[in-house]
């Protein structure tokens, strides 16, 4: 996608579940950053998926306070479900998402967008695992993250470095083609999207970022990791089945 970035439209999606304690501050920080640094037209889209702690009211008030903030409310939980809803409903040139804890550096946000608008990539993902990345997180999370991505590479032979970083951007065309193929509605959504994109020849840009772990993160690491491993094995089966079907369809038929 070669696009005049000044005319391009970008949706910055923030999926939230029970984040009343941090949502208002995080949206204000992102809004201020974009006002000062964005060289494109933008809006922030908050997607509440099943919150029960007052997140709904805060998100609605933020949408009333800021003209560039919109709010989507979903009754069902699932980060993948939230991204699917916001991205498929968007008519912007690029859709991007960032975790509400703002662990990834916002300074990298324009780089993700530029990779799509100026450099011709279809997807861009922040990476905590490249040599030039700078991360501050617990040893436990570091080990699990690296082990997960190593397992992914060994099973599906992927090239991108960090499947689960909560900082990604996708072109509108890639969203239309890929998101309907993604089955997962939760945390595995990211991995499945990247794997399907890579296997179908879409260009993915790995961007090194600075990352500071959120000590208040309530992601259940081990159960989530196990679900993701099952997702990888499901994808392995799906992709193998597709290759077999493709080979059969190309096989010459006896007359």
In whole angstroms, give the CA distance from residue 255 to residue 40: 59
Catalytic residue (one of 4, 190, 214, 216): 190
C-beta of residue 51 within 8 angstroms of C-beta of residue 20: yes
Assign 3-class secondary structure to 55-74: HHHHHHHHHHHCCCEEEEEE
Residue 206 annotated to the active site: no
What residues contact 87, with CB distance under 8 A and at least 6 apart? 11, 13, 95, 170, 175, 179
Neighbours of 24 (CB within 10 A): 15
CA 199 to the chain's CA centroid: 17
Q: Which residue has 């509605």 as its token pair?
A: 185
Note the helical H segments in the chain. 23-37, 55-65, 79-89, 109-117, 139-156, 172-178, 189-199, 221-250
In whole angstroms, give the CA distance from residue 56 to residue 104: 24
C-beta of residue 109 within 8 angstroms of C-beta of residue 96: yes
In whole angstroms, give the CA distance from residue 254 to residue 52: 62
Please give the helix or strand (H or E) that residue 209 lies within, else none: none
- Strands 204-208 and 134-136, bridge-based pairing: unpaired
- Residues labelled as active-site residues: 190
């Amino acid at each position: 996608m070669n696009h005049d970035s000044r005319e391009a439209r970008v949706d910055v999606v923030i999926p939230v579940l029970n984040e009343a304690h941090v949502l208002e501050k995080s949206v204000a920080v992102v809004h201020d950053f974009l006002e000062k640094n964005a060289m494109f037209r933008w809006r922030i889209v908050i997607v509440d998926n099943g919150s029960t702690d007052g997140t709904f009211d805060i998100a609605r008030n933020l949408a009333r306070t800021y003209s560039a903030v919109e709010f989507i409310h979903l009754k069902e939980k699932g980060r993948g479900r939230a991204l699917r809803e916001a991205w498929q409903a968007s008519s912007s040139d690029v859709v991007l998402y960032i975790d509400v804890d703002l662990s990834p550096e916002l300074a990298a946000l324009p780089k993700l967008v530029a990779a799509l608008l100026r450099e011709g990539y279809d997807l861009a993902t922040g990476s905590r695992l490249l040599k030039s990345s700078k991360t501050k997180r617990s040893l436990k999370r570091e080990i699990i993250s690296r082990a997960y991505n190593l397992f992914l590479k060994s099973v599906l032979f992927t090239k991108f470095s960090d499947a689960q970083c909560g900082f990604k951007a996708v072109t509108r065309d890639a969203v239309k083609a890929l998101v309907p193929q993604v089955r997962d509605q939760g945390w595995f959504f990211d991995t499945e999207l990247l794997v399907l994109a890579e296997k179908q020849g879409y260009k993915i840009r790995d961007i090194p970022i600075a990352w500071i772990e959120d000590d208040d993160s309530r992601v259940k690491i081990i159960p989530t990791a196990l679900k993701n491993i099952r997702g990888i094995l499901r994808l392995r089966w799906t992709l193998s089945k597709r290759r077999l079907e493709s080979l059969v369809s190309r096989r010459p038929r006896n007359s």
